Amino acid sequence: MHRIIKEKLPRHIAIIMDGNGRWAKKNLLKRVMGHEKGADSVRTVVKTCRELGIQYLTLFAFSVENWQRPKSEVRALSSLLEEYLRLELQEMKETGIKLITIGDIGRLPKTVRDALSDAMGKTSESRGMVLNLALSYGGRDEIVDAVKRILRDSKSTDIDENTITKDFFSGYLHTANIPDPDLLIRTSGEYRLSNFLLWQLAYAELYFTDVLWPDFSRDDLIKAIVDYQRRERRFGLISE
């Protein structure tokens, strides 16, 4: 039995939810069935994080690269997201979950944007866990966008090379108002970041598991957190 130390919980967990397609193939099902089953894992993880007291949870739901997938699969993913928001909104309100997003939301279908806007508006006053969905998101795009916005602001405000510190730059990222992740979890046995939170993950602990996302359970999440708690986070310093 894995035991969690409440005093050493990660403040912010980020997850690359990988393996829906392989799960479907393994079970001789259509890919969309893998995404549908993956939505159940999302519910499980969100509920578990809230119950444990995790303050921030970021889920990599749709990357900028995912737009290159077949249109039928993109439509199915959009419909699943819209359905998830509709079904989970009341529980998010009741349990104090605040919904936010990062990424190029403008590329999403209008019905999805409307559902997101509604859910974010109705949970904006929540003071429990923050659920951050990365949608149409890419880490390199985010960094380039930050540079462009700094250049635009430099035309009307005093910004020079001494102004631009790491904290200053972080303030122009999509995640400006939330802390960097302490723990990154990636499922399905892949060992890469896949253009996810490239700046923010600089000092995160990385946890990789062979479990496919649709099979990722409460116990799998707790196992990852326990593994995190066994590690010594030195941020470039030494133990002493």
Q: Find all residues with CB under 8 Å of 135, minimum gap 6, and list them.
A: 61, 62, 81, 101, 102, 103, 105, 108, 116
Q: Which position among 66, 104, 118, 195 bears the catalytic label?
A: 66
Task: Confirm whether 177 is a catalytic residue.
Answer: no
Q: Report the C-alpha gap between 223 and 188 in whole angstroms.
A: 15
Q: Is 20 a catalytic residue?
A: no
Separation of first and last alpha carbons in the chain? 31
Going by C-beta distance under 8 Å and a sequence separation of 6 or more, which residues neighbour residue 11? 54, 55, 56, 179, 182
**Strands laid side by side in the 56-63 sheet:** 98-102, 130-137, 56-63, 12-16, 183-186, 205-208
Report helix, strand and coil shares of the chain as percent, to nearest 5.
50, 15, 40
Q: How far apart are CA 43 and CA 141, in angstroms?
A: 28
Which residue among 18, 180, 182, 220 is the active-site one?
18
> Known catalytic residues?
18, 66
